[in-house]
Amino acid sequence: MKGIFSALLVPFDENGTIKEQGLREMIRQNIDKQKVDGLYVNGSSGENFMMTTEQKKDVFRIASEENNGQVKLIAQVGSINLHEAVDLGKYATELGYDSLSAVTPFYYPFSFEEIKYYYETIINETNNKMIIYAIPALTGVSMSLHQFDDLFQNEKVIGVKFTDGNFYLLERLRKKYSNKLIYSGFDEMLIYGAISGVDGAIGSTFNINGKRAKQILSLCQEGNVSKAYDIQHVTNDLIEEILDLGLYQTLKEILKMTGIDAGVCKEPFEAFNPDKLEKVRKLVSTFDL
């Protein structure tokens, strides 16, 4: 369960319907071309929170079929609707996903006891492993070391996707929990997570930049931080350009230029501005696709 996991993108048509063949092509791109170690399915990058329950199940099924046991699969089942989270967790478990993951419940100011109950319910109902998804910038939920301690007492909680810039907390977690998996969640900060001893990383840009991410992680593990920084600098220059053009829209446009039916983003995301296509064409040549 260690290494680089792509946060899998999902292609949609203009009506918000999943383009199954395009999704299969994206999965093959990640496994065959980017050589990722695993896929994180139905996370933010897959526009999960704008999909119906049945669409989420379709993505889980298609990813499982196309992967066919080649790389590790993590199913993000988190939802503000606990019953949906449990339903999705059971479905992904039946499909053979290696672990579940769940974003902390959001929007309402849930207490830590309510958050703990949420995770324990999913675990107990599915009997599967769980990776906490901590992303306070989007959920508003910041957990302390003591609260992570509490969650980690459950042996089924095997780790955390740490999408947080609090590197002091990351260092404390790494030191105390050598037996838990810690994944870096910020692509542009991968090197700092790698230096801190993370087990891997999960990111959206790995769909097209997985090879560089693998290099950064490996070089840091080998102690060659200087060379890793060189690659992170290149990576961050590219990420800045992608963010300026629109993250998910641009990733899909890049994949389209390689022949993948990457579709469009779900509304209310805005459509990609065709006036920016020339900038995307220049970007394509900088990735090993």
CATH number at residue 44: 3.20.20.70
In a domain, residue 189? The reply is yes
How far apart CA 156 and CA 59 sit, in angstroms, is: 24
In a domain, residue 289? The reply is no
DSSP assignment of 220-273:
HHHT-HHHHHHHHHHHHHHHHHHHHH-HHHHHHHHHHTTT----BPPTTSPPP-
Give the annotated binding-site residues: 44-45, 163, 185, 187-188, 202, 204
Secondary structure (3-state) at 191: helix
In a domain, residue 42? The reply is yes
161 given a catalytic annotation: yes
In a domain, residue 68? The reply is yes
Give the model's pLDDT for residue 137: 86
9, 189, 278 from 282: Cα distances, Å = 21, 24, 6
Q: State the distance between the two ends of the chain, measured CA to CA, in whole angstroms.
A: 24
The pTM (predicted TM-score) of the whole model is: 0.97
2 given a catalytic annotation: no
CA angle 253–259–262, rounded 5-degree value: 45
Task: Report the run of H or E that residue 144 belongs to, with start and end.
Answer: none
Domain of residue 77 covers 3-284
Please say whether the beta carbons of 130 and 121 come within 8 A.
no
Which position among 56, 129, 161, 256 bears the catalytic label? Answer: 161
Residue type, 15: N
Secondary structure (3-state) at 53: helix
Q: How many folded domains does the chain comprise? A: 1
Give the model's pLDDT for residue 267: 96
**Long-range contacts from 109-118, C-beta under 8 angstroms, 24+ separation:** 109/140, 110/141, 112/143, 112/147, 112/150, 115/141, 115/143, 116/150, 116/151, 118/82, 118/85
Give the annotated binding-site residues for pyruvate: 202
Write out the chain's pLDDT in tens, 289 residues: 999 999 999 999 999 999 999 999 999 999 999 999 999 999 999 999 999 999 999 999 999 999 999 999 999 999 999 999 999 999 999 999 999 999 999 999 999 999 999 999 999 999 999 999 999 988 999 999 999 999 999 999 999 999 999 999 999 999 999 999 999 999 999 999 999 999 999 999 999 999 999 999 999 999 999 999 999 999 999 999 999 999 999 999 999 999 999 999 999 999 999 999 999 999 999 998 8
Secondary structure (3-state) at 54: helix
Give the model's pLDDT for residue 94: 98
Which position among 40, 118, 133, 248 bears the catalytic label? Answer: 133
